[in-house]
Structure 1
Amino acid sequence: MTSLNKPVQNTPTGHPVFSQTLPCETQSAAHGRRLVRDALGTWHLGDLSDSAELIISELVANAARHTPCHSIRLLVSRPSETRVHIGVVDRAPSRLPVFSPACADDERGRGLVLIDALADRWGYTLLGSHPERGFWGKEIWAELKAAL
């Protein structure tokens, strides 16, 4: 398991991107929450921690539950002064998120509903492209708006 909690690149706004590769299992959510807390603490945006930690937990759980991947990549970036981007990258581009409201007695299926309620916006991005093989992966992401 990689333990990369250091900034790996600078974005155009000058803020680092925090990134970590972890096993694709639900236990990786704890590492994701720590990564989010560290990034938000660096940017003095601790007021977003509760929402961001719930979002990363749900994104990791969805990847572990719905993809056959062995590892995932967690990303926390700040694309602008007022936005925090939280993403999970996996190598299962054909397994796209499906937003469907859960019934009151459903034990599962509330993750994207929760993300939709907490995030300013969310979605997915297909990654890479090859004329014969197509896309190699996807990033499921959510963005929070920081009040400055």
Structure 2
Amino acid sequence: MTMTTPRAHATGVPGYSETWPSEPETAGRARKLVKTVLHTWNIDGEVVDDAVLITSELVTNSIVHSKCRLLRLSVTRPRRDLVQISVTDKSRTEPEHRDAGPEEESGRGLMLVRALAGNLGVELRSFGKTVTAELEVPCRRASSTVVGPTGGK
């Protein structure tokens, strides 16, 4: 399969999105896309780690439970202090929170997402659903040193 370059949104809020086949390898592609986008926006640290984990869980849920052929990942920044990670598929079945037992190896994904995300929502659409998690981005203090295009001050 040929890897394509993620498409930036032409208008509106900053964002990137990509449509991929609903297969296990897609979770890795999605994690790389989110990490790259956040670094492009100069976001690092714990926010990146949380965003990568949230992405992995949302994409994996779509792959395992939707039984759809494709899914779409979108990463947007509607405000300077907020990142949204969305996964869209053609299933209208909403993700279910369940209480996994201590011996179970799966079933904790949405619990993790809810713990990390400031908001988790599901939007049912005529063609399927979009699951969106929001992460707050701590504002950095502006540096007093401004570096110009040649590396000087």
1:33-48 pair list within 5 angstroms: 33-47=31-45, 48=47
Offset of residue 75 of structure 1? 0.3
Q: Which residue of 2 aligns with 1:136?
A: 127
Contact 1:4–1:19 under 8 Å retained in 2? no
Match of 1:98 among 96, 99, 107: 96
**Alpha-carbon offset, residue 109 of structure 1:** 0.6
C-alpha distance in 2, partners of 1:86/1:9? 18
Runs of 4+ in 1 over 6 A off after TM superposition: none
Q: Once the two structures are aligned, what percentage of the paired residues are identical? A: 36
- The size of the alignment, in residue pairs, is 137
**1:146 equivalenced with 2:137 (yes/no):** yes
Deviation at 1:55, TM superposition (A): 0.6
What TM-score do the two structures reach when normalised by structure 2? 0.84
* Matched-pair contact (CA < 8 Å) for 1:2–1:22: no
**Aligned residues of 2:14 and 2:78 also touching (Cα < 8 A):** no
Greater C-alpha Rg: 2
The SS at the match of 1:9 is: coil
TM-superposed deviation, 1:2 = 5.7
User: One-letter code of the match for 1:59?
Assistant: L
Cα-to-partner distance string for 1:20-75 (whole Å, 9 max, x where unaligned):
11011121011111110111111111221111111111111101110121010000
Q: Is the 8 A contact 1:75 1:87 kept in 2?
A: yes
Please tell me the residue identity of whatever aligns with 2:11.
N
Aligned-pair RMSD on alpha carbons?
1.4
**Correspondence list, 1:11-22, <5 A:** 11=12, 15-22=13-20
Task: Using structure 1 for the length normalisation, give the TM-score.
Answer: 0.87
Partner residue of 1:83? 82
Q: 1:69 maps to which residue?
A: 68
Gaps of 5+ in 2: 140-153
- The residue number in structure 2 matching 1:4 is 5
Unpaired stretches in structure 1, ≥5 consecutive residues? 128-134
State how far apart, in whole Å, the 2-side matches of 1:26 and 1:110 are.
18
What code does the residue aligned with 1:145 have? Answer: E
Q: Is the 8 A contact 2:85 2:132 kept in 1?
A: yes
Aligned residue for 1:57? 56
Taking the aligned partners of 1:56 and 1:147, their CA distance within structure 2 comes to 19
